[in-house]
Amino acid sequence: MATGRTHRPATRSRGIPEATVARLPLYLRALTALSERSVPTVSSEELAAAAGVNSAKLRKDFSYLGSYGTRGVGYDVEYLVYQISRELGLTQDWPIVMVGIGNLGAALANYGGFASRGFRVAALIDADPSMVGKPVAGIPVQYIDDLEKIIEENGVSIGVIATPAGAAQQVCDRLVAAGVSSILNFAPTVLSVPDGVDVRKVDLSIELQILAFHEQRKAGEDGGVGGADLPSAAAVRAAAPAAVAASPASTAGRKGPDGDVPAVMPA
Amino acid sequence: MATGRTHRPATRSRGIPEATVARLPLYLRALTALSERSVPTVSSEELAAAAGVNSAKLRKDFSYLGSYGTRGVGYDVEYLVYQISRELGLTQDWPIVMVGIGNLGAALANYGGFASRGFRVAALIDADPSMVGKPVAGIPVQYIDDLEKIIEENGVSIGVIATPAGAAQQVCDRLVAAGVSSILNFAPTVLSVPDGVDVRKVDLSIELQILAFHEQRKAGEDGGVGGADLPSAAAVRAAAPAAVAASPASTAGRKGPDGDVPAVMPA
DNA sequence: ATGTCTTTGTGAACGCGTGCACAAAGATGA
DNA sequence: TCATCTTTGTGCACGCGTTCACAAAGACAT
Ligand SMILES: NC(=O)c1ccc[n+]([C@@H]2O[C@H](COP(=O)([O-])OP(=O)(O)OC[C@H]3O[C@@H](n4cnc5c(N)ncnc54)[C@H](O)[C@@H]3O)[C@@H](O)[C@H]2O)c1
Ligand SMILES: NC(=O)c1ccc[n+]([C@@H]2O[C@H](COP(=O)([O-])OP(=O)(O)OC[C@H]3O[C@@H](n4cnc5c(N)ncnc54)[C@H](O)[C@@H]3O)[C@@H](O)[C@H]2O)c1
């Protein structure tokens, strides 16, 4: 089962907090922009503003990497770019494979952001024979049967899945069996992988649903008992969505004994 | 994954924890699958396994919504689908606009996951005149000049940005000014928005960099001083990436005084 | 009714992440 | 050399999220 997270073996002294790791790419992007403008140094305050985070948090994040700043001055931009890149492993070349070259997969393959940070698309793989050989973003699509060979020959350890949901677990299993140990999954499915394999997911639908939750709250909580935040013209619009569900207010009570459940959600 | 929050200063007493909200769509998806298979009830243990989370966490999450379970039996699938949908605001119809219909924007427009949960693409908007009127996913692309009018007429409060990074902030400002109060951003930029506006971002490049970090760690930390984690065959492959940076081990020491910084990161 | 068995709902403990606030470090100028 | 000023690095407290563990609730059988 994928859930099996074993406890951390006692004192892990060398680990960088996960939350910090997730922010490093953000800092790196801001620093790269500064570097391109030939800015020599930057203070934690400035950089934090550019990255959209708290400056104390940024300083603490950097403190996990070491003492790379100079008090009274700030951080050397170029040096910090290098240190973060090294910490993230971007000074290496990471060959990746992408499986499922449909609408999304093709868009991803065309995305420049891949190649710009040490990631190299080693292969595009699809199960549709009519697509094999057709170049996407200058790279010919290869057939799924060769997946293991491709991974082996290119030493691939990172895979991207952009297949339909139904095929994702199967593709995942093959990737893992072939030696891939990090997977970025775009299919709306929970992948189960053995220990030692990292999976990250990008899920459009989930993001929208989270936004909808907050949007609904902005619209609804006008007469709330607690503090009434949220002035702004935005709340005005949010209060008038296209169709308001006419659910009885008493629904909050107890559970209806039998099937009085409204039929919602087509799929 | 994707993250990114903006406001939340006040003490929210009546709120569902943010972490819980982020998991509700996951539960909903698993429940919908069960519903389609006509499964009447499900235990927290089963559902947790399907959603890839801890069962205690799932129960606590549901407890924020109310007591919708039956002890000794589990949860009524249909009823729970309805409750979660309602909580997330999915019983409403949410019109959304998508700005920037390029490679990614077109793929997103074609994605079925939008429409399946109450989200309706009200308009596709682009700044390229040669693209205006061309149908994408059956919806004709409209010109950016009409953005305000489109938002107004459709009562749109959720916007998706898939433009190049350089245009994102500008587009964001116009969306917000026109009344949009939730934004899903695919451009690799930090958007600044006024209070009351939620921004979530999906960033491909960041996800890959996080994976690379862990991948590097799996490969490198074999002789670490602390506990030696990570056995597994995956580490074997990870230990042999395409190009290993030949960095001296002593780099961990102090900061080199002058510009000995290697030239990395093309862009 | 009563007992047994299953599963929920939650109290409590713990660890992680965040942000404040400040001492220490170092630059800069007189 | 010394004083001043800026900015880092971090100790500390706090709140959130996770997980354990278990009493209570209810189904079901007898
Ligand atoms: N398109 C989007 O914007 C978007 C957004 C979020 C999530 N997703 C998800 O991403 C996935 C891809 O979406 P899409 O719009 O590109 O779909 P698509 O149908 O256009 O593309 C899917 C591709 O996967 C290939 N494929 C199918 N089975 C395969 C297998 N077993 N092995 C290898 N390749 C296989 C198909 O041949 C096809 O080329 C879906 O799961 C979708 O839900 C898409
Ligand atoms: N393509 C991907 O897979 C991918 C992945 C992650 C992130 N991104 C990001 O998403 C964005 C879009 O990527 P893409 O590959 O689709 O790029 P693209 O160049 O194919 O499409 C960009 C579209 O935005 C339109 N546009 C430009 N300026 C605009 C403006 N001011 N208002 C409205 N529309 C405008 C352009 O006309 C074009 O149609 C980029 O920021 C990219 O970095 C893309």
Q: How many CB atoms lie within 10 A of CB A253?
A: 9
Domain co-membership, A164 together with A80: no
Residue A104 sits in a domain whose CATH number is 3.40.50.720
Which of B61, B88, B115 is the endpoint of a domain?
B88
Pocket flag, ligand 2, residue A113 (CB < 6 Å):
yes
Closest CA to B197 of B217, B184, B181: B181
**Strand pairing partners for B123?**
B97
Residue B43 sits in a domain whose CATH number is 1.10.10.10
**Alpha helices by DSSP H, chain B:** 18-36, 44-51, 55-65, 77-88, 103-110, 147-154, 165-178, 204-220, 232-238
Q: Could you tell me if B190 and A50 are in contact, meaning their C-beta atoms sit under 8 angstroms apart?
A: yes
Domain co-membership, A75 together with A111: no
Collapsing DSSP states into helix, strand and coil, what is residue A146?
helix
Interchain proximity A206–B242, CB inside 8 Å: no
Between the alpha carbon of residue A68 and those of residues A43, A83, A105, A117, B90, the distances in Å are 12, 9, 39, 22, 48
CA–CA distance, A67 with B251 (Å, rounded to integer):
13
Domain co-membership, B118 together with B194: yes
- A203: chain B residues, CB-CB within 8 Å: 1-2, 25
Asked if the structure places residue B226 within a domain, the reply is no
Per-residue pLDDT tens digits for A115-148: 778 999 999 999 999 999 999 999 999 999 999 9
Q: Does A190 touch chain B (CB under 8 A)?
A: yes
DSSP conformational letter for A226: S
Domain co-membership, A55 together with A112: no
A71 touches strand D (CB under 7 A): yes
Residue B182 is part of which domain span? 94-204
**Alpha helices by DSSP H, B52-157:** 55-65, 77-88, 103-110, 147-154
- A207: chain B residues, CB-CB within 8 Å: 2, 184, 200, 202
Which of A35, A54, A88 is the endpoint of a domain?
A88
- Mean pLDDT per 10-residue section of chain B, whose length is 267 residues: 38 74 98 97 98 98 95 97 97 97 96 86 98 97 98 98 98 98 98 97 96 93 41 40 35 32 32
> Two tokens at A213?
């939750």
CA–CA distance, B4 with B201 (Å, rounded to integer):
6
What's residue B222's pLDDT? 55
Please name the nucleotide lying closest to B43, CA to C1'.
C7
Asked if the structure places residue A59 within a domain, the reply is yes
Pocket flag, ligand 2, residue B207 (CB < 6 Å):
no
Q: Does A246 touch chain B (CB under 8 A)?
A: no
Rounded to a whole number of angstroms, the distance between the first and last alpha carbons of chain A is 27
Q: Does B86 touch chain A (CB under 8 A)?
A: yes
- Which ligand approaches the C-alpha of residue B208 most closely? 2
Domain co-membership, B100 together with B59: no
Domain co-membership, B112 together with B189: yes
Spacing of A69 CA from D10 C1' in Å: 14
Structurally, chain B folds into a number of domains equal to 2
Mutate to test the pocket of ligand 2, among B98, B104, B208 (most ligand atoms within 8 A of CB): B104
What's residue B3's pLDDT? 41
Which of B88, B113, B132 is the endpoint of a domain?
B88
Contacts of B15 (CB under 8 A, 6+ apart): A217
Pocket flag, ligand 2, residue B127 (CB < 6 Å):
yes
**Strand pairing partners for A94?**
A119
Asked if the structure places residue A160 within a domain, the reply is yes
Domain co-membership, A113 together with A150: yes
A43 touches strand D (CB under 7 A): yes
Asked if the structure places residue B13 within a domain, the reply is no
Per-residue pLDDT tens digits for B42-76: 999 999 999 999 999 999 999 999 989 999 999 99
Task: Give the residue from A97, A161, A211 with the most B CB atoms within 10 Å of its CB, the best one to mutate.
Answer: A211
Domain co-membership, A64 together with A143: no
Domain co-membership, A48 together with A79: yes
Asked if the structure places residue B248 within a domain, the reply is no
What's residue A14's pLDDT? 65
What's residue B250's pLDDT? 32
CA–CA distance, A229 with A264 (Å, rounded to integer):
32
This prediction's pTM: 0.86
What's residue B14's pLDDT? 60
Q: Does B111 touch chain A (CB under 8 A)?
A: yes
**Nearest chain B alpha carbon to A33:** B267
**Partner residue opposite A255 with nearest CB, options B1, B79, B106:** B79
Q: How many CB atoms lie within 10 A of CB A64?
A: 14
CA–CA distance, B246 with A247 (Å, rounded to integer):
64
Domain co-membership, A71 together with A108: no
Domain co-membership, B100 together with B184: yes
Greater pLDDT, A261 or B220 = B220
Asked if the structure places residue B107 within a domain, the reply is yes
Greater pLDDT, A231 or A99 = A99
Domain co-membership, A122 together with A192: yes
